[in-house]
A and B are shown apart, each in its own frame.
Chain A
């Protein structure tokens, strides 16, 4: 839905902290669409801004809905990668289901990048990434960043349909090992991997809420640090901006609710395990 002007311009309002928090409204151009199994990988050209250099795996973009055309809710997209180049401009990669309307669009208004992404370890440490289907999107980028910093990375990827494994070939070139399994066996595969590789120090996970909770529990049982994306972008009702409350998850033993899209999505996995226990 086209909206005249940015929110900042509306009513001549001044935003608090404009200097440190630039407007998260982005006009993007779809430059390239590449098929990958059940998904399309899109490259979006966005106006250069310092925020793109700070963007981390685990942050996401909101594709606004269009109520006038019956699309009541927005779509949320993981940021699959950011390339900042002074000559060629800034490019943001996203992954959408094959045939998604964004693939056919030329220009698109987006909100983001939003949320708290995965933090990288200060020192190179062996890491395990575990994810399910399209939620592997931020992990794929994370693997690349971990490798750049000298970390060895192992991966456990699950999908209920082989087509929904996202670019396993590219990941195989970077990860020390890649284990493929189904969604129902993700936790088991993570446990096996942690048992087999005692040097793995940290686990990064993304998937459905029950899956990340199970992976977090497995990592905790194995005595490893774990960071999870507590937001499942495949869920049908999400606003992504912290307004609707549908992504709330109990933390601190159920003492409080965490609004995953606002305070996360990446949180210590222990929080989810404590809540479940």
Chain B
């Protein structure tokens, strides 16, 4: 999909949903963007690729490691799997240097299955504004012109508005505001209890946009969305779409119930103002 095009109302979180094959048993993914990734470069001594290790559930969430990601070859396989089923994807890339995410995304977009890439998301939760600008600019250079690029930000980032400004200046067409709580040593807390955090991030960015402190782009609220009511709350805070992650572990059919609910709400532009 292209920059400026209306975003799907519901997205699937790439870290939480390691493999979408299981979801297909519960409904169609035709109108969604299927996540592929996080795609990571292979480094000597790096952890073996695979899903995020979950240390345990607690009231309102789970404590987990960051997703270890998948290598490029695995990403090509998954992209092909999606392409053969006519599914559009959002490729999620991560890297240790500013150019790594761009290189990975570029390889996938230029490949035989590149047509299946509907958007690219890059994780900027640990970046500052200059790094965000640099990473997004490289990504923009390596990917097709006008392909939608999303920047994944943390609502708890020290300079959220500055990083968002850098990401948009670098070419981001939308931002994903994530409510997961960093616990240190690569661990995160995610789940329904983080809804207020992601909403606060969305509200902070919406406020900053009104004050013209960053050029606003559509926001996707990620964190704590687990039913139509929590999706409504995220949209009321200023998001135009929501991303579902651990909520799908509890009940994968929530994906379609939230999608149906938000489809019924009509154009988000009609609700604002």
A and B assemble together: yes
Q: Please pick, from B23, B31, B260, B263, the residue contacting A241 in the complex, using a CB distance under 8 A.
A: B23
CB distance from A192 to the nearest CB of B (A): 37
Count residues on chain B whose CB falls below 8 Å from chain A CBs. 49
B130 at the interface (CB under 8 A from A): no
CB distance from A1 to the nearest CB of B (A): 6
Nearest residue (CB) in A for B260 is A10
Nearest residue (CB) in A for B229 is A68
B54, A244: Cβ atoms closer than 8 Å? yes
A21 to B25, CA, bound (A): 8
A5 at the interface (CB under 8 A from B): yes
Nearest residue (CB) in B for A24 is B25
A7 to B28, CA, bound (A): 8
B16 at the interface (CB under 8 A from A): yes
A16 at the interface (CB under 8 A from B): yes
Nearest residue (CB) in B for A13 is B28
B19, A242: Cβ atoms closer than 8 Å? yes
Q: Please pick, from A6, A64, A67, A242, the residue contacting B60 in the complex, using a CB distance under 8 A.
A: A67
B249, A242: Cβ atoms closer than 8 Å? no
A74, B25: Cβ atoms closer than 8 Å? no
A25 to B26, CA, bound (A): 8
A72 at the interface (CB under 8 A from B): yes
A237 at the interface (CB under 8 A from B): yes
B41 at the interface (CB under 8 A from A): no
B62, A237: Cβ atoms closer than 8 Å? yes
B28, A15: Cβ atoms closer than 8 Å? yes
Q: Cβ of A257: which chain B residues have Cβ within 8 Å of it?
A: 50
Given known contacts A10-B260, A241-B22, A245-B18, is B51 in contact with A71 (CB within 8 Å)? no
A72, B57: Cβ atoms closer than 8 Å? yes
Within 8 A of B (CB), among A78-102: none
CB distance from A230 to the nearest CB of B (A): 16
Nearest residue (CB) in A for B63 is A237
A16 to B56, CA, bound (A): 34
A3 at the interface (CB under 8 A from B): yes
Q: Cβ of B246: which chain A residues have Cβ within 8 Å of it?
A: 67, 72
Residues 26-43 of chain B: 1 if any A CB is under 8 Å from the residue's CB, otherwise 0? 111011000000000000
Q: Please pick, from A11, A21, A64, A72, the residue contacting B259 in the complex, using a CB distance under 8 A.
A: A11
B21, A24: Cβ atoms closer than 8 Å? no
Given known contacts A1-B227, A262-B22, is B256 in contact with A72 (CB within 8 Å)? no
A153 to B248, CA, bound (A): 40
Q: Cβ of A25: which chain B residues have Cβ within 8 Å of it?
A: 26, 253
B62, A72: Cβ atoms closer than 8 Å? yes
Given known contacts A11-B260, A242-B21, A245-B18, is B56 in contact with A3 (CB within 8 Å)? no
B210 at the interface (CB under 8 A from A): no
B102 at the interface (CB under 8 A from A): no
Residues 236-263 of chain B: 1 if any A CB is under 8 Å from the residue's CB, otherwise 0? 0000000000111111111111011101
A129 to B31, CA, bound (A): 46
Given known contacts A68-B227, A72-B61, A242-B19, is B249 in contact with A10 (CB within 8 Å)? no
A65 to B229, CA, bound (A): 16
Q: Cβ of B31: which chain A residues have Cβ within 8 Å of it?
A: 11, 13
Q: Cβ of A6: which chain B residues have Cβ within 8 Å of it?
A: 253
B250, A71: Cβ atoms closer than 8 Å? yes
Within 8 A of A (CB), among B41-71: 50-54, 56-62
B27, A7: Cβ atoms closer than 8 Å? yes
Nearest residue (CB) in A for B225 is A67
CB distance from A20 to the nearest CB of B (A): 12
Instruction: Offer 7 A-B interface pairs, CB within 8 angstroms, sorted by A.
Output: A3-B251, A11-B31, A13-B256, A25-B26, A65-B249, A68-B192, A68-B229
Closest 5 A/B residue pairs (Cβ): A242-B22, A245-B51, A65-B250, A7-B27, A10-B260
